[in-house]
Structure 1
Amino acid sequence: MHLVYHNLRRRLLKYTWFLKFLAFLLLVSTAIFLVFKIVPLLLKFPVQLVNFLKPPQSVLRTTSGRTNFILLGMGGAGHEAPDLTDTIIFASLNPQTQDIVLISIPRDLWIPSLRAKINTTYYYGEQKQLGGGLILTKASIEEVLGQPVHYGLAINFTGFTRAIDLVGGIDITIPQTFDDFKYPIPGQEAAIPEANRYEHVHFDAGPQHLDGATALKYVRSRNAEGDQGTDFARQARQQQVLTAFKDKLFSTQTLLNPNRLLDLKQTFSAALIHDLSDAEILALVKTAFFNPPNLRSGILDTATSSGLLTHPPVSARYDYQWTLIPQDDHQLKDYVRQLLFGQ
């Protein structure tokens, strides 16, 4: 069974906060990796130096000239269902042209071969074997999009929170005061009475300085009263935080602080799970540093009028779950192929 996307071309400027944040984490982690590990390694071992000088496309696995990744975001330890993926993104890189295509995949997508939603594949894979989460999720995405997935990366919410704290927090201007009385408290999902499962989150309009934990609440709040409870408002908050994080990340206070850079490296090492070799990381470092990428991306809109995505009736066929399925599998694969290759 395969996922269907609406016409992404009208949505190229829309990003999920986790999609963008993962992209920044990849860039920063590879930068710090270069400073603290790769340079000494290259100076000490000629073989690594030779590998670093190779063109990325000769090191990275590719199919038809593209290297494909799956990027996963999950709660991690201390959160409800820590191994269920909250965000799933397909990323395709052309190492020669630096063209990157990002496609967001809804967590409620039904995978018939597994009789489960796509957001459970990491959990089931890890239950079978250590490292099986990435393996099973990559295979499921291949089934969905009809494209191979060469590598997988996963990050938890702790990495997001810690990274913002390490750059000294962020400064934003909140456009509108809002309250969310149903923000979930990690670890209290089954608390009785039910009111104990949530906390009251309040944000005042105007200039504010946010630490990592507060920034996470600001971007994840889904039940705010009034206009701030809409998906549009949440997307705006996510982009606002991302911009503020970028400004602090690339400030001289961060880039000229070796201790802070080392802490960021350690944070990313603890928060990121991946299946790339050292040589493949070297190739990505080279790509990120010397060839700024051309990023294209889009988000699935479940309210699309194109008729490509549908919510089937809740029934035994889908284990009585609310799911998403495509109208036409072949149309989805054709669309993805055209997006990647222009044909």
Structure 2
Amino acid sequence: MSEIRETLFRYLTMLQLIPRSPGRIATPVLLEKLRERGFQVDSRSLQRDLRDKLALHFPLICDDSQKPYRWYFDREFHCNLPALDVPSALTLVLAEEYLKGLLPPVVIAQLGPQFSDARQLLNDLSGNDLSQWHKRVRAIPNGKALIPAPLEEVTWQTVTEALLTHRAIEVTYLSRSSEKERFFTLHPQGLVSRHSVTYLVATVNDYTDLRQFALHRIRHAQLSETAWNEKSDFDLDAYIQGGAFGYRQSQKTITLSVNVAPQVAWLLTETPLSTEQSLTPLPDSRWQHLEAQVPDDQQTLWWLMAMGANVQVLAPADWRDDIVDTARQVIAQHHTPEKLLSTS
């Protein structure tokens, strides 16, 4: 009896792990995930389960266009295991609102069935007060959210499969600096979604330094026969915290000295710029003096520029000079727009 029960639980787990189209899961990946969950099964038994058991009763499809074979369910197949509860459905609906401005459309499309199920559950429970919460609450990204760049579905599938299975990929990449397509062998180490662009963090060819590749600039991608080069000491969180996506000028922390307008002071009182900051009222003024320990990065400098006339930067001197130079260029361009057009 215990063997029958274990087989049943294995089938239920497989139903949870196999994605709906356009997602795919390779047989070795599915096997590894089952073993991680405590199921002792070999490759031959797994193939038999998929082909002779599940495929007979569910719309399970095998993509045999390449090896290893990859499995997926028909896009319209609905199988909520476990079934959604109201809090989970509510979380999914709110997450959809927020992620639409961050993730590539192909990724949102893959999550579409789950979002649809969540909305349907909430609509069916009109008498439940919590089910109406999604009509009263919205999640808005901070700042102006640009429309995510389009991304080829096959690119997303290839990159994510390579990341999961520790495979290298061959890509044709449009370089922004040279505006030319270049061919690389990439060794994926991580994925980061930043604003409206998703980046692949990878090493290139035989080099060991990490670089970032915008997924939407990958013109072609395929799994490589080249052995994957792992950076054993790589930690994605440490990589991000080290300023990899903050355009750091140096690794040092600097002291920012700024006079700020009342509305900015109020903002920074509620949502500080730094864990180490102080605000001091200026004599005979509604303005306040801000001192904060911040990273030496362009992100903070750009934030100051966005504040415009609501801030007066005192230090560091090179940041103050950058802001002044930028302001002069903006004034010059708006006073003589025809000059800009004639030189473009």
TM-score tier after normalising by the smaller chain length: under 0.3
Q: TM-score, normalised by structure 2?
A: 0.21
Higher RCO (C-alpha under 8 Å, 6+ residues apart): 1
TM-score (norm 1): 0.21
